[in-house]
Structure 1
Amino acid sequence: MYQTDPPRPAKEALPTMYDLPSEDPEQPGLPDEFHAFQPQLLRETFSPPDYPADQVFVASDLNLYYDPQHTLWYKRPDWFAAVGVSRLYEQRDLRLSYVIWQEGVAPFVVVELLSPGTEKEDLGKTLREISQPPTKWEVYERILRVPYYIVFDRYTDKLQAFQLVADRYSDLNLSTPQIWMPSLQLGLGLWQGYYQGIERLWLRWYDADGNWLPTPVEQESQRAEKLAAKLRELGFDPNQ
């Protein structure tokens, strides 16, 4: 049982996205380059085929408000995606935060990138006082009931995945570092390659055929290669 405030009067309006922005003066900036590049790669390759682009919302380092009884409580996932919800706030504005009692749709997948200071909480190994907000694990598992929770440690390249089964997270036994999500018709796995000029293992999305989904830069490069091949077929030198 979570400690809750007494019921609010019906006439009292809950705060909106505009009252609950994502900026937090006590947590300025991002901790390192990886925490900027990895979420960007996830965003660029996340394209579930059964959802139009205007019904997919992805975010990184954005405040996620989850409890209408404690409207200032939030978590800030490194990356999350919600499907079946408008890309824009009320179909017209870029979001300042993600407010669950307004959106009505919880994230489908959350990704946390481990760091030494957050590892225990990210893996559900911390306890809290009853008067304190719930931990990340409790929020994702018991309150928002996020179907997939992914944790990646870039220092050890260890990927862990948890799926919501019977109200609790079940640790998926990964024989290979890949997680297929049938409801999305997408998979998430570790890819060895160059991104932003850096070669390492990166998390990225793949399709039902096992193909890594391309970034916009890769798509443009593929189009250029096809055009060059067509020009050669017609007897032209694409370099001229």
Structure 2
Amino acid sequence: MLQTDPPRSPKDYLPTMYDLPSENPEEPGLPDEFHLLQPRLLAETFLPPDYLSEDTFTGSDLNLYYDVRHTGWYERPDWFGVVGISRLYEQRDLRLSYVTWQEGVDPMVVVELLSPGTEREDLGQTLRDVDQPPTKWEVYERILRIPYYIVFNRYNDELQVFRLEGGSYHIFEATPPRFWFEELRLGLGLWEGTYQGIERHWLRWFDALGNWIPTPLERQVDLVEQERQRTEEERQRSERLIAQLRSLGIEPDL
């Protein structure tokens, strides 16, 4: 390809999400129920206060293309969050995949839900042949330089958070396992509760006051409860007023 002056942007000549495959039918296995529910809870509670909802994007089991030299290479995180980007691709379309050279913004945080078959890869304990694509750990740490990489083992509720420091990931220690991410002004921790009818430990975002961020359903329930309480308080005030009038010998016109 001839060099132009000024150089063309990669967005102008590299493949877009419309050109790249969004799934590989030859990949073994499908997400189990936990891999469906846990990312949904993360997405529902991922509300960075410095960004509007239309300026954040979360992906789950979505192809993440990362290398302009090898446009077919991708990872498929269980969940990732991006801030400072339109919820819709080019503000008009649902994403088929996330193509970093087209988007111009890399994820801020990635979550992998550890499975027995992926444990070594998720924790950066695998090596690759020189003619093979980089490992998941290498992509997140050295290529995309994602600030926070999170691994959660649902079998023993072990939560590991790695923070990018000096070009490499370092374990982020916290006891109890509640981690604060200053760039997002959000925290992530283990919440013991019921989601979608299932009671267990879940990964969930919390705010600066340490409060778990409610899901849309929880917010709706809270609004209904607030309205019920308001109606009950009005009823009690009316009953007290009626009692006061009657004590004065006045029969209220009901």
Q: TM-score range by the shorter chain?
A: over 0.9
Matched, 1:135 2:135: yes
- Give the structure-2-normalised TM-score: 0.87
Determine the structure 2 residue equivalent to 1:99.
99
| CA–CA distance in structure 2, aligned partners of residues 21 and 196 of structure 1 | 31
Deviation string 1:77-126 (CA, Å, 9 cap, x unpaired) is 00000101111111110000000111111100000000011100000000
Quick check: 1:66–1:101 contact (8 Å CA) kept in 2?
Answer: yes
Root-mean-square deviation (CA), in Å?
1.4
1:21 Cα shift? 3.4
Determine the structure 1 residue equivalent to 2:149.
149
Structure with the largest fraction of helix = 2
| Aligned residue identity for 2:162 | F
| CA–CA distance in structure 1, aligned partners of residues 13 and 226 of structure 2 | 56
1:9 Cα shift? 4.8
1:227 Cα shift? 0.4
| Aligned residue identity for 1:214 | P
Alignment gaps of 5+ in structure 2: 5-11, 237-254
1:164 Cα shift? 0.3
Matched, 1:64 2:54: no
| Aligned residue identity for 1:156 | N
1:53 Cα shift? 1.2
| Aligned residue identity for 1:195 | Y
Determine the structure 2 residue equivalent to 1:5.
none
| CA–CA distance in structure 1, aligned partners of residues 39 and 160 of structure 2 | 17
Deviates more, 1:167-176 or 1:137-146: 167-176
Residues 1-240 of structure 1: matches in 2 within 5 Å?
9-10=2-3, 13-27=13-27, 30-235=30-235
Q: How many residues align?
A: 229
Quick check: 1:78–1:113 contact (8 Å CA) kept in 2?
Answer: yes
1:149 Cα shift? 0.3
Decide whether aligned partners of structure 1 residues 29 and 56 sit closer, same or farther in structure 2, where only a CA change above 3 A counts: farther
1:28 Cα shift? 6.9
Quick check: 1:207–1:213 contact (8 Å CA) kept in 2?
Answer: yes
| Aligned residue identity for 2:101 | W
- Give the structure-1-normalised TM-score: 0.92
1:10 Cα shift? 4.4
1:29 Cα shift? 6.6
| CA–CA distance in structure 2, aligned partners of residues 22 and 211 of structure 1 | 36
Q: Does the residue aligned with 1:54 lie in a helix, a strand or coil? A: helix
Deviates more, 1:10-19 or 1:227-236: 10-19
Query: Percent same amino acid among aligned pairs?
Result: 65
| CA–CA distance in structure 1, aligned partners of residues 32 and 2 of structure 2 | 44
Decide whether aligned partners of structure 1 residues 199 and 131 sit closer, same or farther in structure 2, where only a CA change above 3 A counts: same
| CA–CA distance in structure 1, aligned partners of residues 31 and 116 of structure 2 | 12
Decide whether aligned partners of structure 1 residues 229 and 138 sit closer, same or farther in structure 2, where only a CA change above 3 A counts: same
Deviates more, 1:57-66 or 1:10-19: 10-19
Quick check: 1:81–1:109 contact (8 Å CA) kept in 2?
Answer: yes
| CA–CA distance in structure 2, aligned partners of residues 171 and 23 of structure 1 | 32
Decide whether aligned partners of structure 1 residues 101 and 10 sit closer, same or farther in structure 2, where only a CA change above 3 A counts: farther
Alignment gaps of 5+ in structure 1: 1-7
| CA–CA distance in structure 2, aligned partners of residues 230 and 158 of structure 1 | 42
Q: Does the residue aligned with 1:200 lie in a helix, a strand or coil? A: strand
Quick check: 1:30–1:36 contact (8 Å CA) kept in 2?
Answer: no
1:199 Cα shift? 0.4
1:179 Cα shift? 1.0
Quick check: 1:47–1:53 contact (8 Å CA) kept in 2?
Answer: yes
| Aligned residue identity for 2:188 | L
| CA–CA distance in structure 1, aligned partners of residues 44 and 24 of structure 2 | 26
Query: Which structure has the larger Rg?
Result: 2
Q: Does the residue aligned with 1:18 lie in a helix, a strand or coil? A: coil
